[in-house]
Chain A
Amino acid sequence: MILLFLKRLAQAIPSLIGVVVVTFILTRALPGDPAAYFAGAAATKEAVEEIRKKLGLDQSMPKQFLDYIVNLAQGDWGTSLTTGQSVAHEVMTRLPASLELTLAGLLLATVVAIPLGVAAATRRDTWVDHLARIIATTGVSLPVFFTGLLFVYLFYFILGWAPAPMGRLDVYLSAPKAITGFYLIDSLLTGEGAVFMASLKQLLLPALTIALFVLAPITRMTRAAMLGALSSDFVRTARAMGLSDTTVVYRYALRNAMLPILTTLGMVFSFLLGANVLVEKVFAWPGIGSYAIESLVASDYAPVQGFVLTMAVLYVFLNLVLDILYSLLDPRVRIQS
């Protein structure tokens, strides 16, 4: 078991190296001179040169790359030029915001999509099946930034149910003490009911936007996997033995359909971490996506590199977790390994 996971980790190393190299080249190719940007508009030529030296930007490319790798290995992700904060620190404070949003959206989607997919498979070619298909296709066709704006118009401007789309918390409230970084969990742990409700309200619309978008792949995969499981011999046998419909569908078919569903969930999650950028922009959400946009626009190398690296590490980690879940769900995976 452990050997398998170590092997999987080792397989991810070439991709990670590739990501580090590509990101380094890509960020160096960004237009604009960070030294000039950092020095300000009024700086003299000498001042710009001095800053360039201080930042190590006067070195040759291979030397800069080597320095970057050495620093990375020591846990130093560099400093953001625009905010003056260390990148590792900013990523750590912003990552929970993005994760909270993504997980909430994914949870909402899963709660709707799995029953919908099961219903579509058990009542194939009826109106339920068609409805599921229409909902799923519509959801995936909606650009997230557009759905986000529609929700804002409907629930904030017209109905007034939702708060203004301005970040994670009302400006009058202070954030709960950071324990996990997830406002919902932290406010519950510290017992601040008002903060919990306020952050829940802020979270609802962006989470709904994300959920609508990822409904489609989860519903489709659930339907397809359930159709496969329901037509298999063991389900026929279970039915012949007179087991109740619920037992057959949920205990026999759904459990066997879980593997492909889980794979899809993993893919959707890693995809979402990137697609969040747009939702974060619409709702002024202080996550790492908006951090990446701001840094890209300012040609700020270190945060962009830090962001991409975080994403790549998360992606590798996620795949590892999925592998562990597979072997827990399906004994056959364990035996094969």
Chain B
Amino acid sequence: MKAFFKQLNYVLQQNRLTLFAFGLFAAFCLMAVFGPLLAPYDPLASDTANALQAPSLKHWFGTDQFGRDILSRVVVATRLDFIIALSAVAMSFGLGSVMGATAGYFGGWFDRLTGRLADTIMAFPLFVLAMGIVAALGNNVGNIVLATAIINLPFYIRLARAEASVLRGAEFIEAAQLAGSGPVRILAVHVYPNLLPPMMVQISLNLGWAILNAAGLSFIGLGVTPPIPEWGIMVAEGATYIITGEWWVALFPGAVLMLAVFCFNLLGDGLRDLMDIRRRT
């Protein structure tokens, strides 16, 4: 544990960008938890007299076509977007890592089955598969989460499988076998915990991807429905005004969405440095 903090300190010193990403992540978490309290206006209250106002001191990010305050909507939307991304990634990580580890450790028919499953999902254009799932099952948050989880599943299966099949031949596993541990115990106690570090990197990169995916689905009208504030929908609503010059309606939600994904990608890079033993000094 002490070595871990030493490494954390080293990585943060070496790479200011990772430190910045950690700060940004903390800010986003605050926004997700306390969003409704931080927002200066009611995100749903329309005020048609002040529709499509440019950014000003009163409305920092301007107002949209119904006169709603864009800053408030952007802040409040954080929670929904994070919930979608986190639960989707948690689902695909939970299921994918267990399936992949089992397949990699035992091999055999289960390995072939999961391999085929991953291949089949990958043979679809992933975004279109997500579109199809949401269209077929219905437009709601639960189905967006499910669709995002399904299209991310193959990556976790493959990563866990690859790592587990390498670990299978490791000496400490042989030692555990000699000590009389059963296969399930070895898998759960010795193999699985060792899969977690490489999986963490994947999770962080995947979170950014999941947010992009959910926002993309909302953008084409599949997913969260208005008037609920969500970054993708807000960009879609602003799209019609960008050609007439009201740039702020789409720009601010889009920029915050970008910042969130940027933050997760930087975190993923930082975690990779953190987990990479070869760079540990």
Contacts and interface: CB of A to CB of B under 8 A. Distances in A.
Contact of A152 (B126, B215, B243): B243
12 contacts: A15-B123, A140-B261, A143-B216, A146-B250, A156-B243, A281-B219, A289-B128, A292-B131, A308-B128, A308-B132, A311-B124, A315-B123
Contacts of A277: 127-128, 131, 220
Nearest to B119: A15
Interface in B202-228: 208, 212, 215-216, 219-222
Contacts of B215: 143
Interface size range of chain B in the complex: 35 or more
Interface residues of A, number: 50
Contacts of A324: none
B128 A274 contact: yes
A14 B117 CA distance: 10
B128 A292 contact: yes
A282 B239 contact: yes
Contacts of A142: 258, 261
Given A281-B220, A311-B125, A141 B242 contact: no
Contacts of B129: 274
Q: Is the contact region of chain A dominated by helix, strand, or loop, or is it mixed?
A: helix
Given A137-B269, A307-B128, A316-B123, 7 more contacts: A18-B116, A27-B136, A157-B242, A297-B135, A308-B124, A308-B125, A311-B125
Contacts of B222: 296
Interface in A263-322: 270-271, 273-275, 277-278, 281-282, 289, 292-293, 296-297, 304, 307-308, 311-312, 315-316
B164 interface: no
A153 B244 CA distance: 9
B144 interface: no
A48 interface: no
A141 B236 CA distance: 18
A51 interface: no
A293 B131 contact: yes
A16 interface: yes
B257 interface: yes
A145 interface: yes
Interface string A11-48: 00011101100110011011100000000000000000
Nearest to B247: A153
B281 interface: no
Nearest to B215: A143
Interface of A: 14-16, 18-19, 22-23, 26-27, 29-31, 133, 137-138, 140-146, 149-150, 152-153, 156-157, 164, 270-271, 273-275, 277-278, 281-282, 289, 292-293, 296-297, 304, 307-308, 311-312, 315-316
Contacts, number: 134
A30 B258 contact: no
A296 B135 contact: yes
A143 B232 CA distance: 9
Nearest to B151: A274
Interface in B130-181: 131-133, 135-138
Given A141-B208, A271-B126, A296-B132, A278 B219 contact: yes
A265 to B, nearest CB: 16
B90 interface: no
A150 B251 contact: yes
Contacts of A156: 243
A9 to B, nearest CB: 14
Nearest to A138: B262
Residue among A23, A273, A274, A297 with max Cβ neighbours from chain B (10 Å): A274
B189 to A, nearest CB: 33
B243 A143 contact: no
B136 A18 contact: no
B125 A278 contact: no
B125 A273 contact: yes
Given A140-B265, A141-B261, A281-B220, A30 B136 contact: yes
